[in-house]
Amino acid sequence: MSLRFYNTLSRTKEDFSPIDKKEVRMYTCGPTVYDYAHIGNYRAYIFADTLKRVLLYSGYKVKHIMNLTDIDDKTICDSQKEGKTLKEFTEFYTEEFYKDIKSLNILHPVKFTKATDYIAEMVDIIKKLLDKKLAYKSEDGSIYFDIKKFKNYGRLAHLVLENQKENAAGRIKTDEYDKDNVQDFALWKAWDEKDGNVFWKTDLGKGRPGWHIECSAMSMKNLGEELDIHTGGVDNIFPHHENEIAQSEGSTGKHFVKYWMHNEWILVDQKKMAKTFKNFYTLRDVIDKGINPLAYRFWLLMGHYRTRMNFVWEALEGSGIALKRLYRLYIELGEDISDISSKYQQKFKEYLEDDLDTPRALTLLWDLLKDDKISNADKKATVLDFDKVLGLGFENLKEEIIPENILKLAKEREEVRNKKNFKKSDELREKINSLGYEVKDMSDGQKVSKL
């Protein structure tokens, strides 16, 4: 079986075949660095990371680029509120983003590209679009893409053409808008007072780029005019990715992206987790609750990337407990590592090659650990092999093994403590100590370790 991915362009699963057989060229829309990313945002990066790991696992080389939006409406507005320069403001959140992706075991792309490093490339594309009469300058000096001139506009988002024509009379300057506002969009925004000292003086005049042109410039500069895969969240389909196609294909005349892949939302109380709804959590909240950030990765992998998942803390706590159990089972396999089980490996590949079926891959991991016919050393080799894709951190696991009987006593102690029976709780602590272990009460519960 070969790799099959769901392509948003065709709305079907397609066989994967990269343009250059040796190397896959992949681009991911990264964060806008104006705040801490919330865990809903991280679904997009964990999805892209899983996809990349599956490609690597299948033997492809992958050239992966992820951008950092360090100039747009939001970064300008919020840096001014804090009285900081755009650079100093965005660099802080960039560093925080790097820390977060490390704790989520997300492999680094070959390059993180900052939008402000690609202004010249953006100007070049806009000039080409002006030459081809696909763009025009408005009274205030801003430059807009003329969507009526681009015959494929709306292909990715499946916009209904009639509605599009009716609504396409106006223009929109803000970076983000919805399908009810299909209009000519800004490629270049002429400077106005709200921009303060954020501007570039270019052949296009004094101003700054629109958000959408940034990704066209960064992706094509680093990966060429034709990409294999472009990823993002479903909320990027319109307008962002639709506009990227218009700009890129409009300027080059080539087919910009072969496979568009999008992950679904994380919901909170049936509503998309988003800053605007104020229903979001960051990884700091996860860590503050004593939950391993990898439990979030694990929880996401339990769902398919194209299904919406409803976030509740109980579910994340549950996945934290399940992950700990997996770690324990792995540690109990002992020190020896032998051969990968080809039977399990084949199935694992089969599931992931079918549009990244991570829920089935995880079920297989549990099955493997329970399978009496496989030796512990072979199991260990197979788990490590699976973890090249899952990224759950088995390789670096150094947790000490606490015997089951000690854990049982600790659990008993926790229960009596919750009922405020401190006498019994102290007795149990002494018993645990007498067996060579100690128990400490932390903000997130008990911690048991060897004395």
Task: Catalog residues that contact Zn ion under the rule CB under 5 A.
Answer: 29, 215
For tokens 């962002």, name the residue.
Answer: 240
* Closer by beta carbon to Zn ion, 247 or else 425: 247
CB of 324 to Zn ion, least distance (A): 36
Residue with Cβ nearer Zn ion (29 or 143): 29
Shortest Cβ 132–Zn ion spacing (Å): 22
Minimum separation from the CB atom of position 67 to Zn ion (A)? 6
SS3 labels along the chain? CCCEEEECCCCEEEECCCCCCCEEEEEECCCECCCCCEHHHHHHHHHHHHHHHHHHHCCCEEEEEEEEECCCHHHHHHHHHCCCCHHHHHHHHHHHHHHHHHHCCCCCCCEEEEHHHHHHHHHHHHHHHHHCCCEEECCCCCEEECHHHCCCCCCCCCCCHHHHHHHCCCEECCCCCCHHHCCEEEEEEECCHHHCCCCEEECCEEEEECHHHHHHHHHHHHHCCCEEEEEEEHHHHHHHHHHHHHHHHHHHCCCCEEEEEEECCEEECCEECCHHHCCCCEHHHHHHCCCCHHHHHHHHHCCCCCCCEECCHHHHHHHHHHHHHHHHHHHCCCCCCCCCCHHHHHHHHHHHHECCCHHHHHHHHHHHHHCCCCCHHHHHHHHHHHHHHHCCCCCCCCCCCCCHHHHHHHHHHHHHHHCCCHHHHHHHHHHHHHCCEEEEEECCEEEEEEC
Asked if the peptide bond before residue 239 counts as cis, ω within 30 degrees of 0, the response is yes
User: 249 or 353: whose CB is closer to Zn ion?
Assistant: 249
CB of 145 to Zn ion, least distance (A): 15
Closer residue to Zn ion, CB minimum distance, 240 or 380: 240
Question: Closest distance between Zn ion and the C-beta of residue 69, in Å?
Answer: 7
CB of 253 to Zn ion, least distance (A): 21
Closer residue to Zn ion (CB): 100 or 242:
242
Nearer to Zn ion, 251 or 319 (CB): 251
Q: How far apart are CA 399 and CA 331, in angstroms?
A: 8
Strand partners, 440: 447
Residue 9 exposure: Cα atoms within 13 Å on the Cβ side: 16
Nearer to Zn ion, 175 or 355 (CB): 175
> Please, what is the minimum distance in Å from the beta carbon of residue 244 to Zn ion?
7
In the complex, the smallest distance separating the C-beta of residue 317 from Zn ion, rounded to whole angstroms, is 33
Task: Tell me how far, at minimum, the Cβ of 198 lies from Zn ion, in Å.
Answer: 19
Nearer to Zn ion, 105 or 219 (CB): 219
Residue 215 C-beta: closest distance to Zn ion, Å: 3
CB neighbour list of residue 133: distance below 8 Å, 6 or more residues apart: 146, 149
Tell me whether residue 44 or residue 409 sits nearer to Zn ion (CB atom): 44
Give dist(CA 4, CA 86) in Å, integer. 42
Least CB distance to Zn ion at residue 188 (A): 17
Nearer to Zn ion, 215 or 364 (CB): 215
Q: CB of residue 247 vs Zn ion: minimum separation in angstroms?
A: 11
- Residues 6 or more apart whose CB falls under 8 angstroms from that of 23 comprise 60, 61, 62, 63
Nearer to Zn ion, 215 or 368 (CB): 215
226 vs 317, beta carbon nearer Zn ion: 226
In whole angstroms, give the CA distance from residue 47 to residue 356.
9
